Amino acid sequence: MKITEVITHPMKVQLETSSWTAHEISNVATLTLFEVRTDEGLVGYGEVQGGPQKIICELATQYSDCIKGMDPLAHLDIWEKLFASTSPRPGGLGDWDGLPAPLPRGQRPQAMAAIGGIDIALWDIKGKAAGLPIYKLLGGSRTSVFTYSTGGYYVEGAPIEACAEEFALYVEMGYRAVKVKTGALGLEKELVRIKAVREAIGPDVLLMLDMNAPYGVKDCINFAKAVEPFNILWLEEPLHWHLQPADYVRLAEGSPIPLAHGEREWTRFTIRDFIDSGALGYVQFDSTRHAGFTESLRIAHHAEQRGVMIAPHTAPQIHAHLASAFGDAAFGAESHGGHDRHPIQHGLYSECAHAQADGMVHLNDNPGFGFEIDFGYVDSVRL
């Protein structure tokens, strides 16, 4: 079996309501579907949440030429070959070795996203070729994987406690864990929001805080101590983007709440240093943002050995397979109970693993990642 083509389908939907994290505004939803075709008719699908989509798709076209004719089951060879395009390669100049000329530094995030989309699709092919769902291919057996719902995005003009109703609804839907966006407002106002959410969901539902990197170490320690009475499971992305593992170690020493990090790291090499620092309780790499399922699997193995819980970021239809395979070493997969947050993910798949009323993601027995694509929907939101 050989790869014949990589095709991308960039999609975009205007959101009805704009909302904020502590870091950025969202007024559109975007997603790029990757399709890897083979000469034996097997087709694999992957998805990428990243941008600019135009650059990601252009890189995917270049990569398609690079891997045409390769065995799609040789995912490690393909990953390493494409990853090599992000760095200089001694021995010649330009595209002398069959790869694109070394990419500009500014395109590295998009390159890692394109590699990720292709890699996820290759794993989908691998499962289909074996006739097995990915979780079984990896040795997993659980068809039900714990999940939580993220919400509480900031909406300009909304009452400060408005998100409490949202999370009460998620609990009614069956979620037994929820994650609140925080960090955008001053501490006093955030305490009002967090208190309202805890009262709305009750004492037994797990509560996490997604901070989107608003603090330095000292201020974050103060924040952690202030929110501790609300029984917080983890603080996610608590520190400014430029702070490193040594800073997380200082925070962990002063915080009464475990730390989570990893969704914006590009490779296993930087995540490794955060894991090895001992500062993290949870690691959250995202296959659909950077580097794909192969890199997530490498990170998961390393985290398991170091005693750090695996909690992949978003895309439960993909990451629940990983969580299933790692059993008790995985916390679970992230979902969005509010479908208006990621309408493309909910419209794209006519069949896939999804959260149900018992607060679990249920995996089907279909080979690969177990999803079917609604190409009518794809055409309706295509860029």
Residues 248-291 pLDDT 10s: 999 999 999 999 999 988 899 999 999 999 999 999 999 999 89
Instruction: State residue 205's pLDDT score.
Output: 97
What tens digit of pLDDT does each residue of 285-315 get?
999 998 999 999 999 999 999 999 999 998 9
* pLDDT reading at 339 higher than 80: no
Residues 143 and 316 sit within 8 Å (Cβ to Cβ): no
Which residue matches tokens 């890699």? 119
What is the rounded average pLDDT of the residues 41-53?
Answer: 95
Q: Is the pLDDT of residue 340 over 90?
A: no
Of the candidates 9, 75, 290, 313, the residue annotated as catalytic is 313
Distance between CA atoms of residues 331 and 312, nearest Å: 9
Same domain, 227 and 147: yes
Query: How many domains are there within the chain?
Result: 2
Average pLDDT over residues 72-97: 88
Condensed to tens digits (0 to 9), the pLDDT of residues 126-182 reads 999 999 999 999 999 999 999 999 999 998 888 888 899 999 999 999 999 999 999
Identify whether 313 is a catalytic site residue: yes
Of the chain, the percentage scoring pLDDT greater than 90 comes to 79
Does position 24 have pLDDT exceeding 90, yes or no?
A: no
Domain check: are 260 and 368 in the same one?
A: yes
Domain co-membership, 229 together with 317:
yes
- Going by C-alpha positions, the residue among 297, 360, 291 that lies closest to residue 331 is 360
Decide which of 101, 131, 161 is a domain's last residue: 131
Amino acid 231: pLDDT: 97
Does residue 149 share a domain with residue 174?
A: yes
Instruction: Please tell me the predicted confidence (pLDDT) of residue 103.
Output: 84
Could you tell me what percent of the chain has a pLDDT over 70? 100
The reply to whether 109 and 148 lie within a common domain is: no
Q: Reply yes or no on whether the pLDDT at 354 is more than 90.
A: no
Point out the domain boundary residue: 131, 166, 194.
131
CATH code (residue 126): 3.30.390.10
pLDDT of 96 above 80: no
Regarding whether 46 and 76 lie in a shared domain, the answer is yes
Task: Indicate whether 234 and 338 sit together in one domain.
Answer: yes
Residue 217 has pLDDT above 90, yes or no: yes
Question: Do 123 and 174 sit in the same domain of this protein?
Answer: no
Answer yes or no: are the C-beta atoms of 123 and 75 closer than 8 Å: yes
Predicted pLDDT at 158:
87
pLDDT bin (cut points 50, 70, 90) of residue 11 is very high
Check whether residue 203 and residue 89 sit in a common domain: no
Last residue of a domain, one of 98, 131, 164: 131
Q: 166 and 247: one domain?
A: yes
Instruction: Supply the range of the domain harboring residue 50.
Output: 3-131
Question: Is residue 10 located within the same domain as residue 66?
Answer: yes
CATH number for the domain that contains residue 213: 3.20.20.120
Is there a single domain that holds both residue 343 and residue 374?
yes
pLDDT band for 318, please (50, 70, 90 cuts).
very high
Average pLDDT, integer, range 97-114: 88
